[in-house]
Structure 1
Amino acid sequence: MAAHDTGLALKRLRLLRGFKQSHFAQLMGVHQATVSRWERGDLPLSKAQQAAAHRLLAAARDPRQDAALKRLVESSARKVHLICDRTHRLLAASPARQSEWRADPAEFIGRSLIGYASQEILAAEATLADRGWHEGELATLEIATAGTLDPVIPILPGRVLWERIALADGSAGRLVTTIA
């Protein structure tokens, strides 16, 4: 398919799914101008970009699934929380996870938690692109952390499991579960 035809199909699907160019660009990890160039046929998408666009646009999305996921996390007896995979914004946390924190968990909903990460978590985060995490080649990762002594959101030493999952808006979420 020519770049022009691919661009038109991309634009139709994006509009059909209700994505603004700027939001789609953010989800794809590119500038809005890049999406515009794709849609005009001025710039072809790489194979990886085509696969990512397909994952974002091809599947029917239902926000009720996100609400159900949030309820499951918030009612879990395990130490688990859900973040936006790209921005690390907190989306939900279990009572067991919240009990470790020394502040009102509601203050953190919608805020990035990356500033509370341990050195081991930051090091693992830095390897995700090379591992194909964002392209879906790796969907789970187990890491060990020495923890932190942060006075607000301490991280206890141990092992955590990261699981990448699709959210209704086409972005990815990450379930972070402490492994006993």
Structure 2
Amino acid sequence: MTGNHPDTDGTQGLDPQQLGTYFVLMEAVSLLQHHVEQQLRAEGDISSVQFQLLARLAADDGQLTMTQLADGVVYSRSGLTYQAGLLEKAGLITRGSSPDDERATLVTITEKGLALVGGLLPGHIQVVRRLLLDPLTDDDLRQLGDIMTRVRDHMRAQPPRSAAPRKRPAGPTSPAPATTQH
């Protein structure tokens, strides 16, 4: 997995600096996500994914389609459907047909959902500031923002997950015609 020579599958490995950077990034993201998750569970009894969905809706005039939400928070269709069901049951969102596209489901944040996001935001900001922003200078923050924007844009150049074809089980797609013997 390290080195500049191609691996047996033809891919080039990572040098020690690349590997170290990758591991540091993954550890920092995991630590931040853990603390964010703790804050959201303690203060709002919701997950970070649920908070992302509500915050995205609140930031986008309160309404998005399920596809827009899935692409925005990088979440699977089935996972989003499940999370939306939980949020709807809690009275934090509603789902209905889109007036613009009958195939689309429109998700709308409720007043209760907006109030929850507003109540959680101060603690959320505090965690993000304490863990991510406080150790950075203004120049560090600008550079990190530039770097992560380039990385995100590079990753987003790929088709969104919601556009990926669904995997079908292997095997015949329709039953074989019945044969009769005479």
Q: Same fold (TM over 0.5)?
A: no
Q: Give the structure with the higher percent strand.
A: 1
Question: Which is richer in helix?
Answer: 2
TM-score under structure 2 length normalisation? 0.23
Q: Highest CA radius of gyration, 1 or 2?
A: 2
TM-score, length basis structure 1: 0.23
